[in-house]
Amino acid sequence: MAQVQRPLVIQSHIIRSCCPRPTRRTTRALFARGNKHHSLHTKTVTDNDISRLASLTLHPLTLTDLVKHGKPPLTTQQLLTSANFTLSILPARLAHRIQSLRNLPFIVVSNPHVSKIHSNYIHSLSTLLPWAEHEITTLEEEVKFTEVMADLVQTHANTISILARGFLEARKYISPKNVTRFLDEHLRARIGTRLIAEQHLSLHFSSQPHCEVMHEQDDNPGYIGVIDTRLRPARIIDHCANVVGEICELKYGVRPTVVVNGEPDYEFAHIPVHLEYIITELLKNAFRATVESGMERESIEVTIAPLPELLPGSTGTRDVDNISNQMVENKDQGNTDIASQRFTGNTTTASPTADSNILPLKHSTPGVTIRIRDRGGGISPENLKQIWDYSFTTFNDDQASSTLTGNHSGNGMDALNAFSGPGGDGANSLAGLGYGLPLGRAYAEYFGGGIAVQSLWGWGTDVYLSLRGVGRVEGEDHGKP
């Protein structure tokens, strides 16, 4: 990991190879159906609808929520239960996001890109309102509801890159601190919204015997929707190291080696697409720092260590010494919803929540800590305190605008910053804007994990990633004790 580095360019087809199987598996079968705005029944969204739904407490999402409906193929009743659970929590989440956007400074909301995101949320809520008035009781209704979920996922596929462009254009009218505060909350909330929709979509299609994705379930029977209950971090690390290594070698002509040690055979339950994005972000920083400091002969060391069993009463923290905690704060899931209540200077008012902390998993749930150690010279003290900010100053306006529009010159954007996140944004959409590391931490913290950085300036950097698993599902032990 290191401070701002030289630009690096890569072709987009290499970037796309980083897309993990669960996302391909879900989108391949559904978007042909979901891309039918004209066929979806909608209801006009009123200000009263938004106010009423935004006044509701957001449901804290847990990994257990995502697997509680059972292992595919689901029975009819299980599928209906999953659909109704999804329907019960999505409208309020969308309304909170609409409120948060409306409470940005008016000149920011007027930006066409920010306004587009607002319109997208209004559209998605309009497709959900007709369903919110009754329970889904038949498979015919469930199929139609699944089309609504497919439309929702597709509609919001490019939210991050569109918001990035909007805030870049409007940055004269809003402080970096307020941008970071808004984006951190908004993007964390988006993680949950997208997961809820994609989980039901995946459960739906993996429960259809005629579906082309069934053979992929057979390849890995540990999948429950988008969750792999037999996820082996070493496989993700090897894949990401190969992708990042190819890019590094294309630019510099060399690539450091990656040595995986600890317990490479360890398995636990988590979301592969999230882990892949986080590992890619951390490895690209380590590769770039290692090569540009002239230490390419030094291996990057990745250690996989199962988390110890958690004890009741553990408290949440981002400190390295306590990174294996079990508590999740509502703000880590975008549930405090500060931005939707007030956005005026440093004064914020949070909406009520059921609990200040969320206990997403049983204390015996297995998890993992992954340490990535490089000899890339470390992070300068002045940059270390800013690494978690959503930065808009890495490039000048022309360079950043070129990145967001996909126009790259021979010595343009940094491809080691050009990976798309698990939210489905374009491959080159976020290069150089400083989204990678804070967004990676948001994904890690969402279910009680975290990322901590220890830098020895002039020597190297250790990054500690901790993730909580889902534990035992239906009596099966998918992780080592």
In which band, very low, low, confident or very high, does the pLDDT at 341 lie, cut at 50, 70 and 90? low
Residue by residue, DSSP assigns 42-100 as --PPPHHHHHHHHTSPPPPP-HHHHHTT-SSSPPHHHHHHHHHHHHHHHHHHHHHHHHH
Distance of alpha carbon 169 from the chain centroid: 24
Would you call the peptide bond into 73 cis, given omega within 30 degrees of 0 as the criterion? yes
Greater confidence, 472 or 466?
Answer: 466
Q: Distance between CA atoms of 212 and 224, rounded to whole angstroms? A: 16
pLDDT single digits (tens) 315-328 = 333 444 444 445 67
In which band, very low, low, confident or very high, does the pLDDT at 18 lie, cut at 50, 70 and 90? very low
pLDDT single digits (tens) 346-364 = 333 334 344 445 454 555 5
pLDDT at 430 over 70: no
Greater confidence, 348 or 340?
Answer: 340
pLDDT at 293 over 90: yes
pLDDT at 170 over 60: yes
Share of the chain above pLDDT 90, in %: 45
Greater confidence, 381 or 302?
Answer: 302
Would you give the DSSP letter of residue 333? G
Q: Are 465 and 449 in contact (CB under 8 A)?
A: yes
pLDDT at 283 over 80: yes
Mean pLDDT for the chain overall: 76
**What integer pLDDT is reported at residue 356 of this predicted model?**
47
Burial 95-107 (b: 16+ CB within 10 A, else e): bbbbbbbbbbeee
The predicted model gives 182-194 an average pLDDT of 90
CATH architecture assignment, domain 1-481? 2-Layer Sandwich (3.30)
Can you read off the two tokens belonging to residue 319?
Answer: 């400190």
pLDDT at 45 over 90: yes
pLDDT at 453 over 60: yes
Q: What angle do CA 430, 167, 157 make, to 5 degrees?
A: 50
